[in-house]
Structure 1
Amino acid sequence: MIERPENLTDLVFTAIRKRMIDASLPPGSSVSEAMLSKDLQVSKTPVREALLQMRQIGLVAPSGRGLRVVVPTARIIRDAFEMRAGLEAAAARYAADRATREQKNELVELAQASAEVADDFEAFRDADTSFHQAVAAAADNAMLHKAVEDAVVLTQVLRQRDVHVERDFTPDSREHIRIAQAIKSGDGAAAADRLSEHILRIMEQLLQAFGGKATGDGGLRPAELRSPA
């Protein structure tokens, strides 16, 4: 059951996303507004609003008269991460020019904090999210910030559910530090390049774990073709 919050739609969104990640709502499954409303003990309105957001992000898609959880393909993974790389590169460029001194210092601290937990998957995941959110916030562009948030949600579901890989995240944290240093020094071009390279490197690792490069067909493949974690 979900308790009544200030923003019920956001909590419903989070609850549905969690079900996608833990495969309670596996790829290809139908999404019932009525069933989710009953399970979460909320009205249909916040469920409908949350599912609309998920459709816009790319987590669910129309299927007949209803919705289904999108089945991942290599093409979907590639498209999602390339989109995120472009958006976050722009955010890093703006952040280098617009971030306050406090924000720049915070980015360095967050990057260093991610290095301290590079061998702990759960802790690093949280530190990684905090760092990328801080870069987006420092860009001082509300529309870009929202676009980055949506891209992060999509890629996190793909990464945690479909190609979950536990490893040493030291290279990631080192890249965080280099990105933060570029932003702090006001070098927007370097910050953008480093952040884009960071996201695209992760994309290549995930594509390899998924089972190959994008085929370009854009179709929906059966879940059995997903590589094991």
Structure 2
Amino acid sequence: MVELKSPQKDAYQLILEAIDTGVYKPGSRLVESELAERFGVSRTPIREALQRLETQSLLTRDGRSLIVASLDHSQLSELYVVRGELEGLAARLAARHATPEEKRVLRDMLESDRRLQNDPEAMARANRRFHKQIHLASHNRYLVQQLDLVHRSMALLASTSIAAEGRTVDTLEEHERIVRAIEEGDGDAADAALREHISQAFVIRLRLDAEAEDGHI
């Protein structure tokens, strides 16, 4: 029997995933030799990945060093505006084009995620999977590409809004409204429900940032 090997992730994916999962947070310095050792790859693909991430503004220069970029208030606001528009469109298209199987997957995800209410980190990962499934259910490759770019920038946020007290319960209720609208083929309701979901996440994000700033005064 031929053993099927899972495809190996390249250096770019490995570094991006480490940023996305908080291994490297905004302000963290990335060093070629350390990354090569951590991921078990040579320095050449690491160097190329770092250059690519810098081009995408996920990394920035601090003197001669590369550090994980951070988002200021204006950038954060701009990101959430674009995210709300694109995510709403994805939900609208999913309501129109999702197959019965895709709707079933969304429903199963939602029911499974209810068990994660006391685990914000697991819930944050589940939330990303949930949104990605809606993107795919839109059946619009260009929209999926743009949403991938947006979610790549979301990795620059130091923490997830889901970590806020009570946010996991609210997130599940918002997801329920989104899934129900998609199941019913109601594009207007799906669009509105997902935009409201993003809006609520933005409010929590602003509150967390304000509290963080207050703590430094």
TM-score category (smaller protein): 0.7 to 0.9
- Distance in 2 between the 1:227 and 1:132 partners? 32
| Paired position in structure 2 for 1:91 | 90
| Paired position in structure 2 for 1:165 | 163
| Structure 1 residue 99, shift from structure 2 partner | 0.9
| Structure 1 residue 206, shift from structure 2 partner | 0.9
| Paired position in structure 1 for 2:16 | 13
- Distance in 1 between the 2:132 and 2:197 partners? 15
The alpha-carbon distance between structure 1 residues 40 and 165, as it changes in their structure 2 partners (threshold 3 A), is same
Q: How does 1:55-204 map to 2 (within 5 A)?
A: 55=54, 57-62=56-61, 67-158=66-157, 160=159, 165-168=163-166, 169-204=168-203
Task: Give the stretch that moved more between structures: 182-191 or 31-40.
Answer: 31-40
Equivalent position amino acid for 2:115 in 1: E
- Distance in 1 between the 2:56 and 2:196 partners? 23
- Distance in 1 between the 2:14 and 2:124 partners? 20
Unpaired stretches in structure 2, ≥5 consecutive residues: 1-5
- Distance in 2 between the 1:226 and 1:49 partners? 39
Task: Give the stretch that moved more between structures: 142-151 or 33-42.
Answer: 33-42
1:103-154 CA distances to partner (integer Å, 9 max, x unpaired)? 0122122223323322321332232122111101101122322322332233
- Distance in 1 between the 2:82 and 2:55 partners? 14
1:201-228 CA distances to partner (integer Å, 9 max, x unpaired)? 111111111018xxxxxxxxxxx84858
- Distance in 1 between the 2:39 and 2:115 partners? 37
| Structure 1 residue 15, shift from structure 2 partner | 3.3
1:35-66 CA distances to partner (integer Å, 9 max, x unpaired)? 43354332234323433453355421345666
RMSD: 3.0
Task: Give the stretch that moved more between structures: 60-69 or 113-122.
Answer: 60-69
Q: Secondary structure at the match of 1:67?
A: strand
**Length-normalised TM-score, structure 1:** 0.76
- Distance in 1 between the 2:51 and 2:185 partners? 38
Equivalent position amino acid for 2:14 in 1: L
Matched residue pairs, number? 209
- Distance in 1 between the 2:39 and 2:139 partners? 35
- Distance in 1 between the 2:45 and 2:214 partners? 31
**Length-normalised TM-score, structure 2:** 0.79
1:142-172 CA distances to partner (integer Å, 9 max, x unpaired)? 23223223322332441527x7834231111
Question: Percent identity, aligned pairs only?
Answer: 29
| Structure 1 residue 29, shift from structure 2 partner | 4.7
Unpaired stretches in structure 1, ≥5 consecutive residues: 213-223
Equivalent position amino acid for 1:173 in 2: L
Conservation of the 8 A alpha-carbon contact between 1:13 and 1:47: no
- Distance in 2 between the 1:191 and 1:66 partners? 44
- Distance in 2 between the 1:164 and 1:170 partners? 9
